[in-house]
Each structure stands twice: as C-alpha cells, then as structure tokens.
Amino acid sequence: MSQSKKIILRVYFIICALFVLDCLLYYFQEISLRGYYSDVVLSWLWLISSFVIIIVFWKKLMAKLLLVAIIGTFAISIMAMMMPFFALLLSSTSLGLYQNIDLNKNYRAQIVGYSAMGRPWFEVIEKKGLLEKRIIKCTDSQLMNDDLDIKIRTAKDIIFKNETDNTLTLTLFYGGPNKTITFDKKTGNIIAIKKL
C-alpha cells in the first residue's frame, strides 16, 4: 500500500472515530459538538470520506462490503415507510432545523424536528467550549396547558429573560399571545408558564 493510501486511511479512521464518538456522546449523555451545523458537517464528512475510501480501495473486498452496507442501510431505511430515511435526512441536513437562536454566551435555543410524523420540539443547549449539552427538551404537549393553538413550531422567536442558579426563563414569541416559560436547569422540567 502506498504512503498516500495510508494517509487517506488514517484520516478516514479519525473521521469515523469522531463520528462514532459524537453519536455515542449524544445518545448516552446528550452532548454534541458546538453548534447545530457541526454535527451536520461531521455526518456529511463521514459519508463523503466513506465514498472516497470505496473509490480509492475499490479492488479490496472491504471497500465493496462498505458500499453494500451503505446502500443496504439506505434501502432498508426507505423500505420501512421511509421513517428512518427521513430521520437521517432531517438530522443530517438543515431541513430538521426550524429555529436556531443564540440566547447569550452560555446558551442557545433551537426548535428541531427529526421525524416526518412527529412534532418538533424545543431545546435549550448549554455551551461548554467545543462541546454542548442539551439541558432542556420541551414538547407541544408540555406547553398546551390552556391554548391548543399555540405550538412550538409556530414560534417566531425565542427570547432570553433571566437566569438564576436553578432556573432559566425564556419567552416563546408568537406575535400574539406569547408564553414565558421558567425551566428547572437541573431537571429540564417546566416550573411555570405565563401567557403574555
């Protein structure tokens, strides 16, 4: 194997390790790379580098098996009513992002939906250097205490109100009746909802 192929293979293994680590950290600890698009870029970088590996090492059996695995995964995800395919598509592109707002230097909020049949949800992410941790996740059913017409997906803006040691208060701005929500930072639960 030539030196350039060895370098390509090393870079691919580093990208794979970062991708797997990012997926495991998000699944088990809700920690990801900073910013919404960093995870998107990493997933596309992994996919593109996988095809580069397939092209460069086409004569090897492992390259052909990798191609079959990638195509098989996409085919199976499409056959199952396309739900896994839509989840992959919405999470690896900006199509699943409804809003992404920097609240301040410590937090950002986003409204995302990664399912064709599921409703979008609201998240508050705490910034920690190169990594971020989701501290709050809120769905429509948690907000619909009095007004069934106010949904997370129709919010026009997310406004930071204040923060204490234990709570975080945000306003979902709709242009009509707005909702100010106070969250417990440790549990992510809603403490109070005020309709403005």
Taking alpha carbons only, the member of 89, 98, 129, 122 closest to residue 188 is 122
**Model pLDDT, residue 118:** 84
Domain residue ranges of the chain, discontinuous segments joined by +: 3-91, 98-195
Return the top range by mean pLDDT from 58-72, 90-104, 109-123: 58-72
Read off the pTM: 0.83
Condensed to tens digits (0 to 9), the pLDDT of residues 118-165 reads: 889 999 999 998 999 999 999 888 876 666 667 888 889 999 999 999
Condensed to tens digits (0 to 9), the pLDDT of residues 11-69 reads: 999 999 999 999 999 999 999 999 889 999 999 999 999 999 999 999 999 999 999 99
**Model pLDDT, residue 59:** 93
Torsion of CA 31, 35, 40, 45, to 10 degrees: -90
Would you place residue 111 in the very low, low, confident or very high pLDDT band (cuts 50, 70, 90)?
Answer: very high
* Sheet architecture: strand order including 131-138: 31-33, 131-138, 121-128, 107-112, 97-102
126, amino acid identity: E
